[in-house]
């Protein structure tokens, strides 16, 4: 009965020159032994159908070995470990020396043993016929594109293409690859979509199958061993994504940062601490920031918060602040930004890459090169660098993210529901209350011009509107609270005036006419009596398509607002108190009641 010795070997082919004898001896992974040549040939063909580097040797005494190789010993040990873990060889496979073997019978005509050539073995005439396996024949001429790093010397006449390596030559050239080269091939095959294993530099069964798949997809014979030319073409395909980017290491002594940048896409523009700006120079709408300043964890946290307000950092996307570093990824419809910042020995350094959305393959590869090449040089950016120009809408030369419109609103129940204008929340991708709390529209009445908002998470307002039940007198004092300047002042302002009429210009019962001068941002704010009770909600200045005089405004009446709240499932609070507050006290109450409603793209 045949005894089975299964194993996987990584070993080096010996050189064809005389110097080969001085190199490290090669070894083999013996995976099986058979008591007859016929049985050994059958077993060898079976293994060769799924594995590369399969060889057959006579052992003497009527026994024949199936072995993988040849390889260097350290490579053989890795392959043995990988193949055992994959379960494709037996646990008792082992590493054998060349001196353990005699004549080679597989592949037919091969002689990979050291020393003088030995005659190849053939089976007796009674054995079943054998045929040359495809792996032993020289592959057809391949015509891959030349790698970009190879200079082609022009000739006056076409030079016939040289044949590609034979399988034996491909194995020999592969055996000379170091760990980094082998890992690079696995990474390139993963990018090509033919390999999903670990980047471990061990060419096991999964890697060999991936090589065969790549060869098939690219018109080569599927041997599972890449020739030198095929390896070059695979890497050329892998690196073609960088064509036209002009990747170069940029050493910026002002920021104390060196890293690879796409210099054909972005160029240095200016310093505006803590940023060095590299802006787009061509058709690709890209941007790079180098970030550099002194500071501590408090400074790092402040930078993290500030950067999230910038227009170049879309609001969607993962982000994290962990100890001495943070990462911000902003994913927008038009662009994606990636920011990484580190704190080390009182210095804060990092970078931001802004790249067009939809170009993920190139962006991810470029980002990896930038991350791998980031180098910490002495010094940080001098706060005095740059022009020093200031703009309320800019931070260090970068635009702050702003809503497309901002209006006012006020709380109408204890869980944070808000009344505002229907115009304020029309066509919004996102709605916020006080720029911090996400909200959604519960009910909108276009005819009345009013909408109800509900925060996605319950809030606890300091004050909720109390609607005045008593009909106010004409020419009584009123006030409007609102974010007149779209939130720039950080708190609502109060504008004082009088009640001019209890109806609209055309006698509309749901409107009140006010004699006061309001701004666009005030729309949606509460109209208050002298005691702080709500008389209505300020509407937008456009009425029936007509522009109003500056001193004329309109408000939706309490009756119409209360009816809308009831439809929205909210019970309005009512009051009949006729108190009169000082201007200061009224302003304080209005500030607790009024909110900023922002509409974002």
From residue 35, give the alpha-carbon distance in Å to each of 43, 64, 126: 11, 6, 16
Higher pLDDT, 325 or 114: 325
Please give the structure tokens belonging to residue 575.
């009051």
257 and 237 belong to one structural domain: no
455 and 537 belong to one structural domain: yes
Mean pLDDT of all residues belonging to the chain: 82
How, if at all, do strands 437-445 and 450-455 pair?
A: antiparallel
Last residue of a domain, one of 85, 110, 125: 125
118 and 184 belong to one structural domain: no
207 and 292 belong to one structural domain: no
Mean pLDDT over 70-90 rounds to: 84
Note the pLDDT tens digit of each residue in 343-393: 999 999 999 999 999 888 889 889 988 998 999 999 999 887 765 554 444
469 and 576 belong to one structural domain: yes
In the prediction, which pLDDT does 236 show? 87
483 and 586 belong to one structural domain: yes
- On whether residue 381 sits in a domain, the answer given is no
Note the pLDDT tens digit of each residue in 407-424: 999 999 999 999 999 999
- On whether residue 308 sits in a domain, the answer given is yes
- On whether residue 64 sits in a domain, the answer given is yes
Mean pLDDT over 178-191 rounds to: 90
Mean pLDDT over 264-269 rounds to: 92
462 and 581 belong to one structural domain: yes
Among 37, 40, 13, 30, CA closest to 167: 13
- On whether residue 121 sits in a domain, the answer given is yes
- On whether residue 599 sits in a domain, the answer given is yes
From residue 56, give the alpha-carbon distance in Å to each of 65, 287, 299, 391: 6, 59, 68, 78
Mean pLDDT over 515-526 rounds to: 91
Note the pLDDT tens digit of each residue in 549-562: 778 888 989 899 99
200 and 108 belong to one structural domain: no
How many structural domains compose the chain? 4
Judged against a pLDDT cut of 80, whether residue 3 lies above it is answered with no
- On whether residue 62 sits in a domain, the answer given is yes
In the prediction, which pLDDT does 436 show? 85
Q: With bands split at pLDDT 50, 70 and 90, how would you rate the model's confidence at 590?
A: very high
370 and 222 belong to one structural domain: no
343 and 259 belong to one structural domain: yes
Residue spans of alpha helices (H) in 19-116: 37-48, 73-86
- On whether residue 67 sits in a domain, the answer given is yes
- On whether residue 143 sits in a domain, the answer given is no
Higher pLDDT, 395 or 426: 426
- Would the pTM of this model clear 0.85, i.e. be above it? no
346 and 409 belong to one structural domain: no
Looking at residue 410, which CATH number applies to its domain? Answer: 2.40.10.120
Looking at residue 351, which CATH number applies to its domain? Answer: 3.40.1000.10
Torsion angle of the four alpha carbons 155, 161, 167, 170, in this order, in degrees rounded to the nearest 10: 20
Q: Give residue 195's domain range.
A: 176-241
214 and 263 belong to one structural domain: no
Looking at residue 53, which CATH number applies to its domain? Answer: 3.30.70
Per the CB < 8 A criterion, the answer to whether 81 and 87 are in contact is: no
């Amino acid at each position: 009965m045949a005894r089975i010795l299964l194993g996987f070997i990584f070993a080096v082919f010996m050189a064809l020159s005389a110097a080969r004898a001085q190199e490290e001896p090669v070894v083999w992974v013996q995976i099986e032994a058979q008591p007859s040549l016929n049985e050994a040939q059958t077993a060898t063909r079976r293994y060769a159908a799924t594995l590369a580097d399969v060889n057959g040797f006579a052992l003497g005494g009527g026994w024949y070995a199936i072995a993988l190789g040849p390889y260097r010993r350290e490579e053989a040990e890795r392959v043995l470990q990988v193949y055992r873990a994959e379960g494709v060889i037996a646990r008792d496979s082992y590493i054998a020396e060349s001196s353990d073997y005699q004549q080679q019978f597989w592949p037919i005509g091969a002689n990979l043993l050291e020393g003088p050539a030995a005659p190849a073995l053939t089976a007796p005439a009674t054995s079943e016929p054998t045929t040359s396996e495809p792996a032993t024949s020289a592959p057809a001429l391949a015509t891959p594109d030349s790698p970009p790093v190879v200079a082609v010397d022009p000739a006056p006449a076409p030079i016939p293409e040289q044949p590609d390596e034979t399988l034996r030559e491909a194995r020999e050239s592969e055996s000379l690859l170091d760990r980094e080269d082998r890992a690079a091939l696995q990474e390139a095959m993963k990018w090509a979509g033919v390999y999903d294993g670990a980047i471990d530099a061990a060419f096991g069964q999964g890697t060999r199958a991936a090589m065969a798949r790549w060869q098939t997809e690219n018109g080569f014979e599927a041997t599972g061993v890449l020739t030198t030319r095929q390896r070059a073409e695979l890497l050329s395909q892998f690196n073609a994504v960088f064509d036209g980017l002009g990747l170069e290491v940029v050493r910026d002594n002002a920021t104390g940062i060196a890293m690879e940048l796409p210099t054909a896409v972005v160029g240095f523009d200016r310093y505006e601490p803590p940023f060095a700006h590299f802006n787009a120079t061509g058709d690709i709408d890209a941007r790079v920031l180098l970030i550099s300043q002194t500071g501590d964890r408090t400074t790092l946290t402040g930078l993290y918060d500030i950067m999230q307000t910038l227009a170049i950092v879309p609001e969607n996307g993962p982000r994290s602040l962990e100890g001495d570093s943070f990462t911000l990824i902003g994913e927008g419809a038009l662009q994606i930004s990636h920011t990484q910042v580190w704190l080390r020995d009182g210095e804060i350094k990092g970078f931001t890459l802004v790249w067009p959305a939809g170009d993920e393959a190139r962006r991810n590869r470029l980002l990896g090169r930038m991350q791998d090449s980031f180098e910490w040089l002495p010094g940080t950016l001098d706060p005095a660098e740059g022009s020093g120009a200031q703009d309320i809408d800019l931070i260090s030369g970068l635009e702050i993210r702003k809503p497309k419109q901002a209006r006012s609103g006020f709380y109408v129940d204890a869980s944070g529901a808000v009344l505002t204008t229907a115009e304020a929340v029309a066509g919004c991708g996102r709605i916020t209350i006080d720029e911090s709390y996400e909200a959604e529209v519960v009910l909108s009445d276009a005819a009345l011009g009013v909408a109800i908002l509900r925060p996605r998470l319950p809030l606890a307002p300091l004050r909720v509107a109390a609607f005045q039940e008593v009909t106010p007198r004409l020419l009584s004092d009123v006030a409007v609270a609102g974010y007149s300047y779209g939130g720039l002042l950080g708190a609502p302002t109060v504008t004082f005036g009088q009640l001019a009429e209890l109806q609209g210009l055309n006698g509309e019962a749901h409107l009140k006419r006010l004699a006061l001068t309001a701004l666009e941002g005030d729309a949606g704010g509460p109209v208050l009596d002298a005691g702080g009770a709500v008389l209505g909600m300020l509407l937008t200045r456009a009425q029936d398509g007509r522009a109003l005089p500056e001193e004329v405004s309109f408000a939706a009446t309490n009756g119409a607002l209360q009816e809308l709240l009831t439809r929205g499932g909210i019970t309005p609070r009512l009051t009949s108190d006729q108190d009169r507050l000082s201007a200061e006290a009224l302003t304080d109450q209005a500030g607790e009641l009024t909110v900023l409603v922002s509409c974002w793209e």
